Amino acid sequence: SQQGEEDPQALSIQEGENATMNCSYKTSINNLQWYRQNSGRGLVHLILIRSNEREKHSGRLRVTLDTSKKSSSLLITASRAADTASYFCATGLNNAGNMLTFGGGTRLMVKP
Amino acid sequence: KAGVTQTPRYLIKTRGQQVTLSCSPISGHRSVSWYQQTPGQGLQFLFEYFSETQRNKGNFPGRFSGRQFSNSRSEMNVSTLELGDSALYLCASRLAVSTDTQYFGPGTRLTVL
List, for residues B10-46, the tens digit of each pLDDT value: 999 999 999 999 999 999 999 999 999 998 889 999 9
Whether residue A59 contacts residue A48, with contact meaning beta carbons closer than 8 Å, is answered with no
Nearest to A61 by CA among A50, A74, A73: A74
A29, A43, A45: best to mutate for the B interface, most B CBs within 10 A: A43
- Is the pLDDT assigned to residue A94 strictly greater than 80? no
| Mean pLDDT calculated for residue range A45-63 | 95
- Who has greater pLDDT, B5 or A6? B5
Contact B104 A99 (CB under 8 A): no
CB proximity A13 to B under 8 Å: no
Query: Three-state SS across B19-74?
Result: EEEEEECCCCCCEEEEEEEECCCEEEEEEEEECCEEEEECCCCCCEEEEECCCCCE
Contacts of B92 in chain A (CB under 8 A): 43, 100
Query: Is A86 an interface residue toward B (CB < 8 Å)?
Result: no
Best residue in B38, B56, B100, B111 for a mutation probing chain A (most A CBs within 10 Å): B100
> How far apart are alpha carbons A22 and B31 in whole angstroms?
29
Using DSSP's 3-state secondary structure scheme, residue B85 falls into helix
CA atoms within 13 A on the CB side of B8: 9
Report DSSP letters for B86-103, one per residue: -EEEEEEEES-TT----E
pLDDT value at residue B2: 81
Pairing type for strands B53-57 and B103-104 reads: unpaired
